[in-house]
């Protein structure tokens, strides 16, 4: 198990995750980041806040960003 951190980027501001979470792989961390991004989208809708530049940044225990999920990417797209 590896510890991953889920920092929140809101525009140019980054809110660090001080605790992180143990995940078996980067794939597991990505699934958690997608879930967190969906929750943030719901909050943004309820507060009428723009999410254009917002993302969940996945950081490993060494502090390197190993993945990210843009909030706009988890919105359902109707075609």
pLDDT of residue 76: 81
- Cα 18 to chain centroid distance, Å, stands at 14
In a domain, 77, yes or no: no
Residue 30 has phi, psi (to 5 degrees) of -65, -40
Please indicate, yes or no, if residue 25 is contained in any of the structural domains: yes
Whole-number pLDDT of residue 79: 59
What domain range includes position 16?
A: 2-72
> Model-level pTM greater than 0.75?
yes
The answer as to whether 44 is a domain residue is yes
Q: 22-74: per-residue pLDDT in tens?
A: 999 999 999 999 999 999 999 999 999 999 999 999 999 999 999 999 999 99
| Cα gap 45→61, rounded to integer Å | 32
């Amino acid at each position: 198990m590896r510890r991953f951190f889920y920092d929140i980027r809101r525009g140019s501001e980054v809110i660090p995750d001080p605790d992180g979470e143990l995940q078996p792989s980067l794939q597991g961390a990505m699934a958690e980041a997608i879930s967190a991004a969906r929750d943030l989208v719901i909050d943004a809708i309820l507060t009428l806040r723009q999410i254009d530049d917002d993302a969940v940044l996945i950081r490993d225990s060494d502090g390197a960003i190993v993945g990210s999920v843009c909030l706009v990417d988890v919105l359902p797209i109707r075609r």
